[in-house]
Structure 1
Amino acid sequence: MTAISTARLSAGADLIVEPMPGVRSAAMTWLLPAGSAREPAAFEGLGAMWADLLFRGAGGLDARQHAGALDRLGVSRSADGATHTFRITGTMLGDRVVRALPLFADMVLRPRFDPADIGPVRDLCLADLAALADDPHERVMILAKARHLPAPLNRSGLGTPETLAAIDAPIARAQWRAQAAPAGSAIAVAGAVEPEPVRDALERLLEGWTGEPTAFEAAGPARRGREHLDDDTNQVHIAVVHDAPPESAPECVLERVLTSVLSGGMSGRLFTEVREKRGLVYSVSARYAAGRDDGRVVAYAGTTPERAPETLRVLLGELGRPTAEGDAGGIDESEFRRAVTGLKSSLVMSGESTAARASALAGDWFTLGRPRTLAERLAEIDAVTLDALNAYAAKRTLGELTIASIGPAGSMDAAG
């Protein structure tokens, strides 16, 4: 098995490279400490605008020239913001990585942010905001995050019409220079590559790049509790959020297996109990998101107004059932094996994708401070026993819940 190579570049950014024998492609994930939590409150939505502006010219190339250069190299690319970081990705043939790196370096160090592009990009961001009216599933997730986490960690990243209107080209440039710093950034490359040529190219390209990430602090406690938004629709969308271990906690892998028991496909407890046995929902799921400093499980159910109160009751019961004493909540052998097999299968299949590996390496660097091999991640799952999982489930608590819902007025009144 080829080892993962790590290096601290002279500019201060970290480089992680994993050669993958047997593949011809390669992928890059470049994480920058420019997430939505670092945006000034008056300019929320910067990340949404940057995600488009960065592909509208960089260095000495205008938008068409820069796009053409990437296209000639066969580079598939994207950019998006998260709470803590901003991500730029690229996937290409392995022998074209070194030739593509200057184009990505220009995006980070020398983006154009042409004033003529600000208006069209803002309009696209405003259209994304307007589209939420037709996407209650996404809106209930945004509402749940807004209540469960403290500001500014609870931002959606989309901004508001007012904050987007306040962003002009000078502000976009100044904030990018302030936040897209080498300290706190990482470049992960996986696939048909060798570490030395990538490292040598980046040392040259990033010479003179300096800066520290902008600091931020959580502004008081989160609101949590319940909130319902009235919406004239024939559906009710429910999100339930509870705290869970961060990625660095020893219990993280146990929570991951437990969530797979709850929502590991059509054999998971939520699908079986909430949908199949009772017919309460058309969609139900739970997802565990483990971060650097905290973690949370987000459960979702889509149902009808008349079934919404019962749906919430059963959903909460299933989320809490693994903590019950005795056979009432305990996980049995068949559930355990299905969950472990599903997790390992998903991990192995994602490990065959260079893009997924680059993303995983960058994610590990951010949450753990070090990358993990695919074998290490599989070994963590293999080390979980049924007894250990049930012991963890028995002592685990859900903490203070956040329950968000969107649907007709009064549809959740009977839920208490």
Structure 2
Amino acid sequence: MNLSAATAPPILTHRYANGLTLVVEPMAGVASVGMTLLTPAGAATEPQARQGVAGMLSEMIFRGAGKLDSRAHSDALDRLGVHRSSDVYTQHMRLGATMMGERVAEALPLLIDCVTRPHLADDAFDPSRQLAIASIEALEDDPQHKVMIELKRHHLGEPIGRSTMGRIDHLEAMGVDDVRTFAEQRCVSGGSILAMAGCVDFEMVRDQIGELIEDWSGAADEIASNDPPARSYHHMQAESAQQHIGVAYDTIGELDPQNMTQRVALAVLSGGMSGRLFTEVRENRGLCYSVYATYGAERGRGFVYGYAGTTPQRADETLQVMTGELRRMADGVDADEFDRAIVGLKSRLVMQGESTGARAASLAGDQFMRGKPRTLDDIAAAIDDVTLDKLNDFVAAHKPGDMTTLNIGPEPLRND
């Protein structure tokens, strides 16, 4: 499966003396540029008693930077047509942007200033904190989101399993100097990754970025994976007509040679309306209104997370059938399921290749996880390398182990 033109430029990388890694993929036939900038300022890097400070930083970086106050900086980006966002991952704070290729040279100074020269002004702190607290409080009206946050926290433990949203009590105890100190310690050049994809000239952006980051320095260690807690059942009481169930178990990591085989297995389980979970739990038995599974990975370990939303009366059976389907994968996959999973993965890959923003995010993620970016053809070749026999050998050898189960609703589950 060849997804790129024969003459497509290669992915180019450059490491600056201050530790920033630049990754650029010029793409033919597009007019836009996607950009992702990762700095080592994620939730797992926060001080133990200041959980939420990374999210505060990600909100405040757009409230004035460089020589421009909040309004002037925002207006300047708007005039250039730059769509931007920021959020927090486990290991990183992410700044993302998309723009027309002809605007890159003007937009880069404004975007780089967000991480190298943010104002972090006193008057930006309280509005940012209010937004952060309101987002956490809103989880009470979004239990599907809340159950997955709590599931990750219980399954992974401290600090890797922390919510990227933080904690209300920590946010209330926080001051603007906490944000400034965190930015100084973690929003540094060493370990940061800047990826760009689309209508972009590598040499031009390499040289311009080099000038923009001359005074940016520092280094921060990556947070090591912690030993996970014991797998167990957790119930969170909520007076509701719904029951929200999350399950998690361990599997292989991103750098495992069989990583793509794991992704194909996940696509069999939860690859849309033809996936096993949807078919067996929702369609055939009518047990729930929503069910799915996702795969998350670190370099050396991975995790499968499952969710089902149902009623209290059907919750026990829903959990039993869902976990039964997760374990039944070890019995094997048939040819039709395999073919649908492969087609689904390739379709998503094609759609990713049509989005410069998605490509920039993928390049940055690969650079962090794998130490080098992958082309679309590299990923397609990995999909093509998975056969039905390889998949069935894999699922037989990687049966789900002990699970973490978390339930939000009016009644505890039997969990037997």
Q: Over aligned residue pairs, what C-alpha RMSD do you find?
A: 1.2
In structure 1, list runs of 5 or more residues that go unmatched. Answer: 324-328
Amino acid in the other structure paired with 1:31: L
The answer to whether the Cα contact below 8 Å between 2:91 and 2:223 also exists between their aligned partners in 1 is no
Tell me whether 1:258 sits opposite 2:265 in the alignment.
yes
Tell me whether 1:279 sits opposite 2:281 in the alignment.
no
Amino acid in the other structure paired with 2:263: R
Tell me whether 1:237 sits opposite 2:244 in the alignment.
yes
Distance 1:367 1:219 in 2: 17
Q: 2:357 aligns with which of 355, 358, 365?
A: 355
Note the 1:322-361 alignment, pairs <5 A.
322-323=329-330, 329-361=331-363
Amino acid in the other structure paired with 2:261: L
The answer to whether the Cα contact below 8 Å between 1:351 and 1:357 also exists between their aligned partners in 2 is yes
Distance 1:385 1:409 in 2: 43
The answer to whether the Cα contact below 8 Å between 2:312 and 2:411 also exists between their aligned partners in 1 is no
Q: CA deviation at 1:400?
A: 2.3
Give the secondary-structure state (helix, strand or coil) at the position aligned to 2:85: strand
Amino acid in the other structure paired with 1:121: S
Q: CA deviation at 1:91?
A: 0.3
Amino acid in the other structure paired with 2:406: A
Note the 1:194-209 alignment, pairs <5 A.
194-209=201-216
Alpha-carbon displacement from aligned partner over 1:354-409 (angstroms, at most 9, x marks no partner):
00000000010111010000011001001111001001111112122111111113
Equivalence for 1:64? 71
Alpha-carbon displacement from aligned partner over 1:187-218 (angstroms, at most 9, x marks no partner):
00000001000000011000021111145455
In structure 2, list runs of 5 or more residues that go unmatched. Answer: 1-7
Tell me whether 1:114 sits opposite 2:121 in the alignment.
yes
Give the secondary-structure state (helix, strand or coil) at the position aligned to 1:58: coil
Q: CA deviation at 1:163?
A: 0.9
Tell me whether 1:406 sits opposite 2:408 in the alignment.
yes
Distance 2:335 2:221 in 1: 48
Amino acid in the other structure paired with 1:48: G
Note the 1:186-201 alignment, pairs <5 A.
186-201=193-208
Alpha-carbon displacement from aligned partner over 1:48-94 (angstroms, at most 9, x marks no partner):
21121111000111000000110111100000001111100110001
Distance 2:371 2:299 in 1: 9
Tell me whether 1:307 sits opposite 2:314 in the alignment.
yes
Note the 1:124-203 alignment, pairs <5 A.
124-203=131-210
Give the secondary-structure state (helix, strand or coil) at the position aligned to 2:49: helix
Q: Segments of 4+ in structure 1 off by > 6 A? A: none
Give the secondary-structure state (helix, strand or coil) at the position aligned to 2:249: strand
Note the 1:45-124 alignment, pairs <5 A.
45-124=52-131
The answer to whether the Cα contact below 8 Å between 1:230 and 1:406 also exists between their aligned partners in 2 is yes
Q: 2:43 aligns with which of 36, 41, 51?
A: 36
Q: 1:216 to 1:373 in 2, by over 3 A?
A: closer
Higher mean alpha-carbon deviation, 86-95 vs 157-166, is at 157-166
Q: 2:301 aligns with which of 294, 297, 305?
A: 294
Amino acid in the other structure paired with 1:225: S
Q: CA deviation at 1:320?
A: 0.6
Distance 2:72 2:173 in 1: 29
Alpha-carbon displacement from aligned partner over 1:153-184 (angstroms, at most 9, x marks no partner):
11002222221123222221111010011111
Amino acid in the other structure paired with 2:365: G
Q: CA deviation at 1:221?
A: 3.7
Give the secondary-structure state (helix, strand or coil) at the position aligned to 1:196: helix
Give the secondary-structure state (helix, strand or coil) at the position aligned to 2:408: strand
Equivalence for 1:373? 375
Distance 1:67 1:212 in 2: 29
Q: CA deviation at 1:113?
A: 0.7
The answer to whether the Cα contact below 8 Å between 1:75 and 1:92 also exists between their aligned partners in 2 is yes
Alpha-carbon displacement from aligned partner over 1:279-309 (angstroms, at most 9, x marks no partner):
1111010111222232111111011111111
Distance 2:106 2:18 in 1: 20
Q: CA deviation at 1:219?
A: 5.6
Distance 1:226 1:233 in 2: 20
Tell me whether 1:392 sits opposite 2:390 in the alignment.
no
Amino acid in the other structure paired with 1:301: A
The answer to whether the Cα contact below 8 Å between 2:53 and 2:178 also exists between their aligned partners in 1 is no
Distance 2:15 2:227 in 1: 35
The answer to whether the Cα contact below 8 Å between 2:233 and 2:415 also exists between their aligned partners in 1 is no
Distance 1:217 1:186 in 2: 18
Distance 1:163 1:112 in 2: 22
The answer to whether the Cα contact below 8 Å between 1:292 and 1:366 also exists between their aligned partners in 2 is no
Q: State the aligned residue count.
A: 409
Alpha-carbon displacement from aligned partner over 1:316-350 (angstroms, at most 9, x marks no partner):
11001111xxxxx2211111000000000011111
Give the TM-score, by structure 2 length.
Answer: 0.96
Amino acid in the other structure paired with 2:174: I
Distance 2:217 2:132 in 1: 30
Equivalence for 2:5? none
Higher mean alpha-carbon deviation, 158-167 vs 52-61, is at 158-167
The answer to whether the Cα contact below 8 Å between 1:10 and 1:207 also exists between their aligned partners in 2 is no
